[in-house]
Amino acid sequence: MRHDTSPSFTSTTAIQYQSETPTGDNVTAEKSFAVRKTKIPTPSKHTKIMVENVTSLSELRMFLEEDERPVVIKFYAAWCKKCQKLGLQFDRLAMEMGDRVVDQQFIDGDVRFAAVQYNPESHGFITEELQIRAFPTLQMYVGTRKLLEGESSIKNIRKEIAVIEELSHGDLLERAEEADDGVLTGLIEESFYDSPDFLNEEW
């Protein structure tokens, strides 16, 4: 669920995965997670990066599960000077690799981006549920599995992207599975079992 008012665009994921059933003599089983070598558009006055604003666990889960691409998330506070500085680097990375609209043309990125702002309403979600203790904090996910705790370094995020861009989809999932600390996945499991729909389910 995006909170921008841009016109709706139909897009396809930038990471393409090939069928495991070969259809020709030279077809490989999987295609690597390759960051496309397309030329980055020249900056324009009419450029808008697509960064999802997330305010709750349910929104975060929906955003992570709706697409297979890796996700970089920024946790920040409006009053934090370091957050503001990191925000510029975060936006630059989103411009290079994320979904964006340039002169009314939608460009489908290889990585998706989201931001979670600290405030009284999100306090419990950020500090108690996700156990984030400092701002800014960067995290990277594949699905609901945490691939990287990037702390406050865009350099760490760029380094991880450079590693995973050569991985197959299967290897990427395996890397995320191994790296995951279980915080978010545990929360999702708890919320599932606490759901009234689950309690009323007939087995």
Residues forming beta bridges with residue 74, ordered by sequence position: 115, 138
- Residue 118 and residue 128 in contact, taking contact as beta carbons nearer than 8 Å: no
More confident: 36 or 141: 141
Residues forming beta bridges with residue 142, ordered by sequence position: 145
- For residue 69, give the nearest of 6, 20, 18, 113 by alpha carbon: 113
- Asked whether residue 11 carries a pLDDT value surpassing 50, the answer given is no
- Give the mean pLDDT of 173-182: 96
- For residue 139, give the nearest of 82, 72, 184 by alpha carbon: 72
- Asked whether residue 121 carries a pLDDT value surpassing 50, the answer given is yes
For 64-89, the pLDDT digits (tens) are 999 999 999 999 999 999 999 999 99
Looking at every residue in the chain, the average pLDDT score rounds to 82
At 83 the three-state DSSP class reads helix
pLDDT band per the 50, 70, 90 thresholds, residue 10: very low
Rounded to the nearest 5°, which phi and psi values hold at 151?
A: 55, -120
Indicate the residue type of 6.
Answer: S
pLDDT at 13: 38
- Asked whether residue 34 carries a pLDDT value surpassing 60, the answer given is no
pLDDT at 15: 38
- Asked whether residue 23 carries a pLDDT value surpassing 50, the answer given is no
More confident: 86 or 188: 86
- For residue 157, give the nearest of 140, 136, 174, 175 by alpha carbon: 140
> Could you give the residue ranges of the DSSP H alpha helices within the chain?
57-65, 81-97, 123, 154-164, 169-179, 183-194, 196-199
Record the pTM.
Answer: 0.74
- Residue 31 and residue 16 in contact, taking contact as beta carbons nearer than 8 Å: yes
For 126-169, the pLDDT digits (tens) are 999 999 999 999 999 999 999 999 999 999 999 999 999 999 99
Domains in the chain: ranges and CATH = 47-199 (3.40.30.10)
C-beta contacts of 16-21 below 8 A and 24+ residues apart: 17/68, 17/169
